[in-house]
């Protein structure tokens, strides 16, 4: 726990606390992460009978599970916050520019308790199946804990980066040491002291964990398959004056976030192309942003993610920084990415490159000499064997579709969602899928989700779903379902818009390339939040165009 602690006040909400779970619910929400929490709040305020089921024993979603050393948000805390309650914004105070996992958990719990939401969440309860009963026009949801819920609406708040990419290495069972997944970190923590530790992966999770584990372990070996770009976070405590200033200016910050492609009001977006600037101007601009730290580096120019030559200017700047920081030139070379900057999500670090200057840290390039198998004492690559006591798998997630496909979801005529999506997800606006009436996906595939400050995308989706449910209720209809043509056009549009970006060509989790056998499809919507919001609003204005309401 951090010492930022925050508030004692409670606000009142309009809902009643009675909730008879044996009756048909108005809505069943799967997941008590940030999406599920806000969805619950909104539907209770509509006076609906709602139940949330959550696999973990606490709220927070992916933050609940990702308690690995160094876990932190890479969006600034002051805007990685719900914006729906003015009181909450004033009441809560973050301690640092970028929050730790522990502080984010504290915040999630604070929100849940402030608004009296906890009684409506059943913990340690994993959704196993959700089947649509066409005759009753109800969803039937079964859980691993043996519950059966019936609900009019089935709302999937299952998260975008929540289904862990588990190791499939040959010989995993033969490894005699301990092994851990960053995405399922044990609550009691891990004692690395004096141990020979290996970490597989160099995405955000590993980049955050590496410097912290390096300080504790006897020796740390980082197994890197693909070098990625990392920008220093420059994390620091937030000063009282800065906090007061931000709190006084939240309306302006949210207004800026609403206009921003990525839903961030703090990031200063460049206004011209990198190639329009002179080399000296670029050097100055990149240096300014490197010194400030954070994701703003990638927003220095308008064309970094659309023009290869522009991208190269930013990439070269980072590579020069790596050479400057990392003392051993061979290590610096291996750490220097060959991929397009930003095509895999850029990392934000606190001492990542510096960690490789430590005597107890080594880098192994498993891109050129792949891991062959795990053996009793460690990892065997095509180049040799590495003796380890502990292995940390920081291998990412089955992004956007993994958590949904993990549940046996069946719509009309028993159609399985995972069969329908075998060649890639098909959604209308990332909110709904044809054949699955009254089911909504919060930040689902085909919506901006992971290409935005996900808190802004969550709030937008939850507000949209709430309005939609209100509309259905008021119109005395019982079903809403995406129509085939609208879904087809949207799915094609998501792909078409992505094609214009440099991210499209790169092997990343954005296209499902990290999961063996996953169909290569660009998963999030890359047209930006403002365009996306306008489209969603337009659909509503035209009487839920593209949906069948019956």
Tell me the Ramachandran region of residue 180: left when phi exceeds 0, alpha when psi lies from -120 to 50, beta otherwise: beta
Minimum distance, C-beta of residue 450 to ligand NA7, in the bound complex (Å): 6
Least distance between ligand NA7 and beta carbon 240 (Å): 30
* CB 408 within 8 Å of CB 129: yes
CB-closest chain residue to ligand NA7: 203
Q: How far apart are CB 267 and ligand NA7 at their closest, in Å?
A: 15
For the bound state, the minimum distance from the C-beta of residue 366 to ligand NA7, rounded and expressed in Å, comes to 5
The dihedral sign for the CA sequence 59, 62, 63, 69:
positive
Question: In 4-77, which residue ranges form alpha helices assigned H by DSSP?
Answer: 34-45, 62-65
Closer to ligand NA7 at the Cβ: 277 or 454? 454
Exposure string over 211-227, b if 16+ CB within 10 A, otherwise e: bbbbbbbebbbbbbbbb
Q: Which of 396, 393, 293 is nearest to 348 (CA)?
A: 293
Beta bridge partners, 224, equal 365
300: left (phi over 0), alpha (psi -120 to 50) or beta: alpha
Minimal distance, residue 304 CB to ligand NA7, in Å: 17
Query: How near is the Cβ of 352 to ligand NA7 at its closest, in Å?
Result: 12
Q: Which is nearer to ligand NA7, 31 or 411 (CB)?
A: 31
| Least distance from ligand NA7 to the Cβ atom of residue 15, Å | 33
Nearer to ligand NA7, 153 or 397 (CB): 397
Distance of CA 456 to the CA centre of its chain: 12
Closest to ligand NA7 by CB, 107 vs 153, is 107
Residue whose CB is less far from ligand NA7, 15 or 344: 344
Tokens of 316: 């070269």
Whether the Cβ atoms of residue 292 and residue 327 lie closer than 8 Å to each other = no
454-476 in b/e form (b: 16+ CB < 10 A) is: bbbbbbbbbebbbebbeebeeee
Q: How far is the CB of 167 from ligand NA7 (least distance, A)?
A: 7
Q: Which long-range contacts (CB under 8 A, 24 or more apart) does 87-94 make?
A: 87/9, 87/11, 88/11, 88/114, 89/247, 89/250, 90/247, 91/6, 91/7, 91/9, 92/6, 92/7, 93/4, 93/6, 93/7, 93/238, 93/243, 94/4, 94/238, 94/243
Q: Which of 114, 204 has the CB closer to ligand NA7?
A: 204
C-beta of 386: minimal distance to ligand NA7 in Å? 13
* Binding footprint of ligand NA7 on the chain (CB under 6 A): 161, 182, 200-206, 225-226, 344-345, 366, 371, 394-397, 509, 514
Q: How far is 132 from 413, CA to CA, in rounded Å?
A: 9
Q: At which residue do the structure tokens 């995972």 appear?
A: 418
Q: Which two tokens stand for residue 531?
A: 């365009």
Closer residue to ligand NA7, CB minimum distance, 28 or 341? 341
Rounded to a whole number of angstroms, the minimum distance from the CB of residue 243 to ligand NA7 is 25
Q: How far is the CB of 144 from ligand NA7 (least distance, A)?
A: 25
Minimum distance from CB of 383 to ligand NA7 (Å)? 14
Nearer to ligand NA7, 92 or 397 (CB): 397
CA-closest candidate to residue 42, choices 113, 108, 117, 106: 117
Among 55, 75, 76, 51, CA closest to 64: 55
Residue number with CB closer to ligand NA7 (326 or 371): 371
* Residue partners of 419: CB distance under 8 A and separation at least 6: none
Nearer to ligand NA7, 182 or 427 (CB): 182
Nearer CB in complex with ligand NA7: 396/424:
396
CB of 156 to ligand NA7, least distance (A): 19
Nearer Cβ to ligand NA7 (143/205): 205
Question: 366 to each of 226, 308, 334, 376, 511, how far by Cα in Å?
Answer: 8, 26, 10, 19, 22
Long-range contacts of 239-246 (CB under 8 A, 24+ apart): 243/78, 243/93, 243/94, 246/78
Q: Which is nearer to ligand NA7, 28 or 371 (CB)?
A: 371
Do 92 and 7 contact (CB within 8 A), yes or no?
A: yes
CA gap 109, 305 in Å, rounded: 37
Asked if 402 and 158 count as a contact pair (C-beta separation under 8 A), the reply is no
Smallest distance from ligand NA7 to CB 69, Å? 13
Cβ-based nearer residue to ligand NA7, 50 or 511: 511
* Helices and strands (H, E) in the chain, number of each type: 16, 20
Taking a C-beta distance cutoff of 8 angstroms, is the pair 50, 29 a contact? yes
């Amino acid at each position: 726990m951090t010492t930022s602690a925050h508030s004692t006040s409670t606000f009142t909400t309009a809902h009643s606390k009675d909730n008879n779970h044996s009756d048909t619910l108005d809505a069943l929400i799967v997941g008590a992460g940030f999406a599920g929490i806000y969805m619950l709040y909104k539907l209770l305020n509509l006076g609906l009978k709602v139940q949330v089921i959550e696999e973990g024993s606490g709220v927070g979603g992916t933050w609940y599970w990702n308690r690995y050393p160094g876990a932190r948000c890479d969006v600034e805390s002051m805007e990685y916050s719900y914006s729906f309650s003015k009181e909450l914004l004033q009441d809560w105070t973050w301690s640092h520019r970028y929050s730790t996992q522990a502080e984010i958990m504290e915040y999630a719990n604070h929100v849940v308790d402030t608004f009296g939401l906890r009684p409506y969440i059943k913990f340690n309860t994993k959704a196993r199946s959700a089947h649509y009963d066409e005759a009753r026009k109800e969803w039937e949801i079964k859980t691993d804990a043996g519950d059966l819920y019936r609900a009019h609406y089935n709302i999937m708040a299952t998260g975008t980066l929540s289904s862990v990419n588990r190791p499939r290495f040959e010989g995993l069972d033969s490894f005699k040491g301990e092994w851990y997944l960053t995405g399922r970190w044990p609550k009691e923590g891990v004692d690395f002291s004096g141990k020979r530790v290996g970490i597989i992966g160099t995405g955000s999770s590993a980049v955050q964990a590496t410097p912290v584990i390096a300080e504790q372990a006897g020796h740390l070996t980082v197994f890197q398959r693909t070098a990625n770009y990392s920008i220093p976070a420059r994390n620091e405590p937030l000063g009282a004056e800065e906090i007061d200033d931000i709190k006084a200016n939240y309306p302006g910050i949210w207004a800026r976030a609403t206009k921003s492609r990525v839903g961030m009001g703090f990031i200063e977006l460049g206004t011209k192309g990198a190639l329009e600037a002179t080399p000296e101007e670029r050097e100055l601009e990149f240096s300014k942003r490197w010194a400030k730290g954070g994701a703003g580096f990638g927003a220095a120019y308008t064309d970094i993610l659309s023009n290869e030559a522009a991208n190269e200017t930013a990439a070269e700047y980072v590579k020069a920084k790596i050479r400057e920081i990392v003392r051993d030139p061979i290590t610096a070379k291996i750490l220097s990415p060959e991929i397009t900057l930003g095509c895999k999500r850029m990392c934000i670090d606190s001492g990542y490159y510096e960690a490789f200057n430590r005597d107890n840290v080594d880098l192994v390039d498993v891109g050129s000499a792949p891991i062959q198998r795990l053996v009793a004492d460690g990892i065997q690559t095509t180049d040799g064997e590495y003796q380890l006591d502990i292995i940390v798998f920081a291998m990412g997630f089955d992004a956007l579709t993994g958590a949904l496909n993990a549940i046996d979801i069946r719509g009309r005529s028993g159609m399985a969602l995972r069969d329908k999506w075998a060649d890639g997800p098909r959604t209308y606006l990332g909110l709904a899928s044809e054949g699955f009436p009254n089911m909504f996906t919060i930040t689902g595939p085909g919506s901006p989700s992971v290409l935005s400050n996900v808190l802004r995308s969550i709030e937008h989706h939850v507000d949209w779903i709430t309005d939609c449910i209100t509309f259905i209720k008021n119109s005395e209809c019982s079903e809403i379902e995406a129509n085939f043509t609208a879904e087809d056009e949207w799915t094609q549009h998501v792909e078409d818009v992505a094609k214009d970006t440099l991210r499209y060509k790169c092997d990343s989790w954005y296209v499902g390339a990290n999961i063996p056998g996953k169909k290569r499809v660009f998963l999030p919507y890359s047209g930006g939040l403002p365009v996306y919001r306008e489209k969603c609003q337009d659909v509503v204005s035209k009487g839920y165009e593209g949906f069948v309401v019956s």
